[in-house]
């Protein structure tokens, strides 16, 4: 792409540039390259930067290349070209860049000479990276596993490209709409010295300015010993914009300080006076002789020389005032250099232990709607995360055979880069490119090569070359293979470190089916036909209970037998007045009662713990106001309106499932479900297309109980630790209530619960949603939104998602409900949340699609672990890192004080895995970009007193200990277990027995009688 239209100085010859850079290269990258300040003056650190959203109003490709929209005429490629040229003109200039999704793409387009120039700029500290993740992820709707993955991807690109020179010292989260405590904890464990925030609540910020608490230490965990999760936190004065009157980008209209095109626009004297006034005002709210001013904004520096010329002039004229008695010194700087000066001040700092949710930038502008916006895309993000972990694991377990196998070249990289950019609140055209089908069904996953990888890996591990079929529409009962084939195989892969049982539900054609387990034994199964109470047509479904070993698979054979009428169970079409008929579904653990008059959920009983709770659950909708939009939640009234208190109901009872189907309206329905052995209640809701009215509707599922909750409820932080919430309250400042509903909504990534100290009602979600408890004993979750208005927050369009018929979007999801004694509840919701996020991956194949065997007898069951992991331990990451090297993350998934499972756990990793042996371990930071024993973070003194914690970096693969909420990251050198005898023995162990196939034939014969 030509760049002749971009103004700027002529580029010096490459020889001159290299000589200049060699003269300037006196220091290595890092704090030692920071500019000198004047200790006796007010130092104004001018941070030139650009914020480049990785998909928002435009797609990633449109932003990177020259595809114009009225608001953003430039491209990221042009921005980076322009910045590098401008940096070379003046050696005092500095620039900060953040998003590696764009920078890595730009880097690959540069020739070797330009790459060397950029490496030298980084080495000198003149081009500095902050944050360094693949994207600047949202903090409200993201799962911690995805955050860790995307930061690992970006930071290791920097490490591999620039070494320690490119290693960021600070996190730079200037644009997320509120900030989670878990995000701070993760950043601290990645080795960052501090974090810079742009958006905090307007009331909070005003109080902080008065109290001189714009900078403090943020404690990201109550379980990890300080300062492990402590992170110094700076709140920027202008979000991330320049001060008013100092925006000199081509996108701005402020008058410049330099002559342009021969026309004098010289206003320097007025600008200097204004700058000194702004600097003095800002300094009055901060505590040191250093303040920071951001110079840049969204997609700025497309004409970098224009920006830098004005900043050059500003610095020159401001510093010239020192001769007249001014005590202000302006300088080019970076976030890390500013942070270093704060650390040198040797002050004591206040401590924050909660989070920054919810965020509002005005009395009636709470950014709590986006917690639930685009629910289909939010679900797709979780499915993509699941599939990425499965691909990473199988690539690690199968080795090179996964990347180059019988089905071609496989690679999980494109999937990771695709999945990690999900925000959930960009424009509909951007979301549409991700969620092309626009229906409740999950779309095709990002990369076909990742599906090839999975096929290759399973061929290696199973010993059979089967072409796999992926049915992404199972959640809407669509799978062409299972609906059309008379005989097929179902492979269930379990990405967890523990054995799982899973009810498989497959859409099929009419008839009856025989299911055999990996040993050839008949599995109980049945075909069930469901009443149509929602927006989706339901074919008959085959149900059977599958199991899968830890980090392994079981293959099940499904054969169609002669037609037999599908089971429907007993059915009721509507609530009945008769008192003799009681509507109940139950199993050995749980009993659920519905109101006989209304058909609404009435009562849940935990039989194991002898608990009984009256619970009413139904759906309501908030009437949106003109202020509601994709970001903002602003209901017209405080009380939501019920969709129906008397749904049409159908009861289905079979040996494998008991269900109550509730139809609240033509666009809202639910299935309340219990399987045998299940310790939780499953609520599968279907909402949409939402009918339109003046401004739109915002749909909630609400649970009302008699629990005395004293205004308290609890939500997770990015799927990990739990935070206590209190209605109409903020832990660190006095809230002036302006929005009683929206101001009490919080992000729910995986669970929300209420408790009276004895009983606890927990609801787990399958995607991020907004939730609250607006009255004692009640909790609610927002499941869908459809709005006619735009909230004027930049998106410039209403939230009007459409389905395939161009009508409103129909969305399906699940809530899982647990009733426990409070002191026992953590074991239930933590282990269940793990199963939701890492649910088994189900794939299909037929014998006709086989390319043959890899040798030996095909294996129908496999486990990569010799023994299960303890319940408290989760295998967070198992991924290929290089030849004979793997990335391994183990985490303790319980917090301090959550019962017996909160105790430390010790593992022996030496012979844990079945396909390889770990020969050496190197422990690293959380993002795996530096050895843990070499990390030296800046130390901060708290007003509460010094923090003393001796870190122990001793490592023994025979005894790896995990403390509560601890994540330990390792680079593991491995030796493959390639003994043919061992593989053949394993294959024989997994082969089906002949007796099992005899049982299959007998079963079919019985059906024919």
Q: Which pLDDT does position 266 carry in this prediction?
A: 61
Decide if pLDDT at 987 tops 50. no
CATH assignment of the domain containing 613? 2.70.98.30
- Domain hosting 527: range is 487-568+846-857+980-1009
**Tokens (6 digits) for 380:** 């797709």
Are 60 and 157 within one domain? yes
Are 124 and 223 within one domain? yes
Are 129 and 257 within one domain? yes
Q: Determine, yes or no, domain membership for 18.
A: no
Are 828 and 879 within one domain? no
Cα end-to-end distance, the chain, whole Å: 73
Q: Determine, yes or no, domain membership for 606.
A: yes
Between 55-59, 523-527, 645-649, the lowest mean confidence (pLDDT) is in: 55-59
CATH assignment of the domain containing 873? 2.60.40.1360
Decide if pLDDT at 567 tops 80. no
Decide if pLDDT at 980 tops 50. no
Alpha-carbon span 697 to 691, nearest angstrom: 8
Helix (H) or strand (E) holding 559: strand 552-561
Would the CA dihedral through 397, 402, 404, 405 be positive or negative? positive
Between 553-562, 896-905, 975-984, the lowest mean confidence (pLDDT) is in: 975-984
Q: Can you state the angle between helices 825-837 and 375-398, rounded to 10 degrees?
A: 80
Grade residue 11 by pLDDT with cuts at 50, 70 and 90: very low
Q: Which residue has the higher pLDDT, 169 or 511?
A: 169
Decide if pLDDT at 439 tops 70. no
Are 236 and 253 within one domain? yes
Phi/psi of residue 105, nearest 5 degrees: -65, -45
Are 215 and 314 within one domain? yes
Q: Which pLDDT does position 981 carry in this prediction?
A: 42
Point out the residues that are catalytic.
175
Q: Which pLDDT does position 957 carry in this prediction?
A: 74
Residue that is last in its domain, among 352, 376, 408: 352
Q: Which residue has the higher pLDDT, 697 or 24?
A: 697
Q: How many CB atoms lie within 10 A of CB 496?
A: 24
Q: Which pLDDT does position 27 carry in this prediction?
A: 39
Decide if pLDDT at 348 tops 50. yes
Alpha-carbon span 940 to 644, nearest angstrom: 56
Yes or no: say if 131 and 101 are a contact pair by the CB < 8 Å rule.
Answer: no
Q: Determine, yes or no, domain membership for 963.
A: yes
* Residues pairing with 92 in the sheet: none
What mean pLDDT value characterizes the chain? Answer: 87
Are 880 and 774 within one domain? no
Grade residue 425 by pLDDT with cuts at 50, 70 and 90: low
**Tokens (6 digits) for 595:** 């109101």
Structural domain count of the chain: 4
Alpha-carbon span 85 to 80, nearest angstrom: 9
Decide if pLDDT at 681 tops 50. yes
Between 28-32, 114-118, 405-409, 468-472, the lowest mean confidence (pLDDT) is in: 28-32
Would the CA dihedral through 192, 198, 204, 208 be positive or negative? positive
Hey, what's the torsion of the CAs at 218, 219, 221, 226, to 10 degrees?
150
Q: Which pLDDT does position 259 carry in this prediction?
A: 63
Q: What's 361's DSSP letter?
A: S
Q: Which residue has the tokens 């920006």?
A: 307
Q: What is the pLDDT of residues 869-878, one digit of tens each?
A: 999 999 999 9
DSSP-assigned states of every residue in 626-693: TT--SS---BSSSSPEES-SS-EEEEEE-SS-EEEEEEEETTEEEEEEE-TT--SEEEEEEE-SPPP-
Decide if pLDDT at 271 tops 70. yes
Alpha-carbon span 713 to 727, nearest angstrom: 8
CATH assignment of the domain containing 553? 2.60.40.1180
Distance from CA of residue 269 to its chain's centroid?
48
Are 924 and 806 within one domain? no
Total residue count of the chain as it appears in this document? 1009
Decide if pLDDT at 927 tops 50. yes
Residue that is last in its domain, among 299, 321, 352: 352
Residue 445 preceded by cis peptide, ω within 30: no
Alpha-carbon span 616 to 620, nearest angstrom: 12
- Reduced 3-state DSSP string for 123-174: HCCCEEECCCCCCCCCCCCCCHHHHHHHHHHHHHHHHHHHHHHHCCCEEEEC
Are 530 and 671 within one domain? no
Are 901 and 973 within one domain? yes
Rounded to an integer, the average pLDDT of 39-64 is 93
Grade residue 1009 by pLDDT with cuts at 50, 70 and 90: very low
Q: Determine, yes or no, domain membership for 630.
A: yes
Q: Which pLDDT does position 72 carry in this prediction?
A: 52
Q: Which pLDDT does position 693 carry in this prediction?
A: 85
Q: What is the pLDDT of residues 80-106, one digit of tens each?
A: 999 999 999 999 999 999 999 999 999
Are 750 and 879 within one domain? no
Distance from CA of residue 877 to its chain's centroid?
15
Q: Which residue has the higher pLDDT, 576 or 434?
A: 434
Alpha-carbon span 548 to 558, nearest angstrom: 17
Q: Determine, yes or no, domain membership for 661.
A: yes
CATH assignment of the domain containing 55? 3.20.110.10
Portion of the chain with pLDDT greater than 70, in percent: 85
Give the closest residue to 132 by CA, choosing from 160, 90, 109, 94: 160
Rounded to an integer, the average pLDDT of 282-295 is 97
Are 142 and 80 within one domain? yes
Decide if pLDDT at 310 tops 50. yes
Q: Which pLDDT does position 421 carry in this prediction?
A: 41
Yes or no: say if 459 and 403 are a contact pair by the CB < 8 Å rule.
Answer: no
Portion of the chain with pLDDT greater than 90, in percent: 73
Local structure of 235: helix, strand or coil: strand
Helix (H) or strand (E) holding 999: helix 994-1008
Give the closest residue to 977 by CA, choosing from 923, 931, 912: 912
Q: Which pLDDT does position 991 carry in this prediction?
A: 38
Yes or no: say if 636 and 742 are a contact pair by the CB < 8 Å rule.
Answer: no
Yes or no: say if 845 and 465 are a contact pair by the CB < 8 Å rule.
Answer: no
């Amino acid at each position: 792409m030509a760049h002749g239209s971009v103004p700027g100085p002529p580029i010096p010859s490459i020889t001159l540039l290299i000589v200049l850079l060699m003269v300037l290269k006196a220091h290595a990258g890092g704090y030692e390259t920071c500019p000198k300040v004047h200790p006796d003056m007010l130092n104004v650190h001018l941070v030139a930067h650009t914020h480049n959203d990785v998909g928002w109003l435009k797609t990633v490709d449109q932003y990177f290349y020259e595809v114009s929209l009225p608001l953003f005429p430039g491209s990221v490629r042009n921005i980076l070209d322009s910045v590098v040229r401008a940096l070379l003109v003046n050696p005092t200039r500095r620039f900060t860049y953040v998003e590696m999704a764009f920078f890595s793409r730009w880097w690959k387009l540069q020739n070797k000479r330009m790459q060397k120039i950029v490496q030298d700029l980084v080495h000198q500290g003149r081009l500095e990276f902050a944050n360094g993740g693949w994207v600047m992820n949202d903090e409200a709707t993201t799962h911690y596993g995805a955050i860790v993955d995307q930061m690992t991807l970006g930071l290791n690109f920097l490490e591999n490209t620039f070494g320690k020179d490119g290693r960021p010292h600070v996190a730079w989260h200037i644009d997320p709409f509120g900030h989670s405590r878990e995000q701070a904890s993760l950043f601290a464990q990645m080795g960052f010295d501090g974090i810079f925030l742009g958006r905090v609540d307007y009331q909070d910020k005003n109080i902080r300015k008065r109290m001189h608490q714009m900078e403090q230490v943020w404690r990201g965990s109550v379980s990890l010993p300080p300062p492990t999760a402590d992170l110094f936190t700076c709140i920027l004065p202008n979000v991330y914009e320049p001060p008013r009157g100092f925006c000199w980008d081509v996108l701005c209209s402020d008058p410049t300080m330099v002559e342009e095109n021969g026309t004098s626009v010289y206003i320097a004297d007025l600008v200097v006076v204004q700058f000194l006034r702004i600097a003095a005002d800002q300094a009055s709210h901060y505590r040191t002789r250093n303040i920071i001013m951001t110079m840049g904004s969204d997609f700025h520096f497309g004409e970098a020389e224009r920006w830098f010329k004005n900043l050059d002039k500003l610095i020159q004229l401001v510093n010239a005032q020192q001769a007249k008695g001014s005590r202000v010194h302006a300088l080019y700087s970076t976030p890390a250099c500013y942070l270093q000066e704060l650390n040198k001040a040797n002050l004591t700092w206040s401590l924050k232990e909660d989070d920054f949710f919810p965020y509002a930038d005005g009395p009636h502008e709470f950014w709590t709607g986006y917690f639930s916006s685009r629910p289909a895309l939010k679900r797709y993000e979780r499915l993509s995360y699941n599939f990425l972990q499965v691909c990473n694991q199988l690539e690690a377990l199968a080795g090179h055979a996964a990347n180059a196998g019988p089905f071609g070249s496989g690679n999980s990289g494109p999937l990771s880069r695709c999945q990690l950019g999900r925000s959930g609140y960009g424009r509909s055209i951007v979301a549409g490119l991700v969620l092309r089908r626009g229906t409740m069904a999950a779309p095709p996953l990002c990369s076909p090569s990742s599906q090839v990888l999975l096929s290759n890996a399973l061929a290696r591990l199973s010993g059979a070359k089967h072409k796999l079929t992926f049915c992404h529409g199972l959640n809407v009962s669509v799978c062409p293979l299972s609906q059309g084939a008379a005989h097929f195989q179902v492979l269930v892969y379990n990405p967890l470190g523990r054995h799982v049982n899973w009810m498989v539900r497959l859409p099929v054609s009419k008839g009856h089916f025989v299911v055999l387990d990996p040993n050839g034994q008949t599995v109980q199964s049945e075909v069930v036909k469901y009443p149509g109470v929602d927006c989706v047509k339901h074919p008959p479904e085959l149900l059977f209970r599958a199991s899968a070993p830890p980090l392994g698979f079981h293959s099940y054979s499904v054969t169609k037998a002669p037609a037999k009428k599908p089971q429907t169970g007993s059915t009721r079409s509507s609530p009945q007045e008769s008192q003799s008929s009681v509507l109940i579904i139950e199993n050995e653990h749980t009993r659920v009662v519905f109101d006989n008059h209304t058909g609404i959920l009435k009562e849940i009983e935990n039989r194991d713990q002898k608990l009984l709770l009256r619970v009413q659950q139904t759906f309501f909708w908030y009437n949106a106001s003109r202020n509601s939009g994709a970001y903002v939640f602003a209901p017209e009234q405080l009380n939501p309106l019920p969709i129906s208190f008397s749904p049409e109901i159908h009861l289905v009872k079979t040996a494998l499932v008991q269900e109550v189907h509730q139809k609240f309206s033509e666009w809202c329905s639910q299935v309340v479900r219990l399987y045998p052995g299940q310790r939780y209640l499953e609520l599968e809701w279907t909402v949409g297309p939402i009918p339109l009215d003046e401004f739109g509707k915002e749909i909630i599922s609400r649970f009302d109980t008699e629990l005395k909750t004293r205004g308290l409820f609890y939500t997770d932080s990015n799927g990990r630790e739990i935070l206590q919430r209190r209605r109409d309250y903020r832990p660190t400042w006095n809230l002036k209530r302006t929005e009683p509903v929206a101001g009490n909504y919080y992000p729910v990534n995986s669970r929300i619960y209420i408790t009276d100290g004895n009983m606890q009602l927990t609801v787990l979600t399958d995607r991020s949603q907004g939730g609250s408890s607006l009255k004692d004993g009640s909790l609610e979750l927002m499941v869908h939104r459809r709005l006619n208005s735009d909230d004027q927050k930049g998106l410039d369009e209403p939230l009007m998602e459409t389905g395939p018929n161009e009508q409103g979007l129909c969305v399906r999801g699940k809530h899982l409900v647990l009733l426990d004694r409070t002191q026992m509840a953590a074991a239930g919701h933590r282990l269940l949340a793990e199963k939701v996020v890492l649910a088994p991956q189900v794939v299909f194949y037929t014998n006709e699609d086989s390319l043959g065997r890899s040798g030996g007898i095909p294996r129908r069951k496999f486990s990569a672990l010799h023994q299960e992991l303890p319940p408290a331990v989760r295998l967070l990451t198992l991924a290929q890192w290089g030849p004979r090297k793997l990335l391994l993350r183990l985490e303790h998934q319980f917090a301090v004080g959550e019962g017996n499972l909160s105790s430390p756990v010790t593992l022996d990793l030496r012979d844990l895995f079945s396909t390889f042996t770990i020969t050496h371990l190197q422990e690293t930071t959380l993002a795996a970009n530096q050895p843990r024993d070499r990390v030296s973070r800046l130390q901060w003194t708290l007003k509460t007193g010094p923090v003393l914690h001796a870190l122990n970096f001793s490592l023994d693969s025979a005894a790896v200990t995990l403390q509560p909420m601890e994540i330990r990251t390792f680079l593991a050198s491995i030796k493959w277990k390639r003994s043919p005898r061992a593989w053949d023995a394993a294959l024989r162990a997994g082969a089906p027995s002949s007796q099992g196939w005899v049982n299959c034939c007998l079963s079919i014969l019985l059906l024919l009688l």
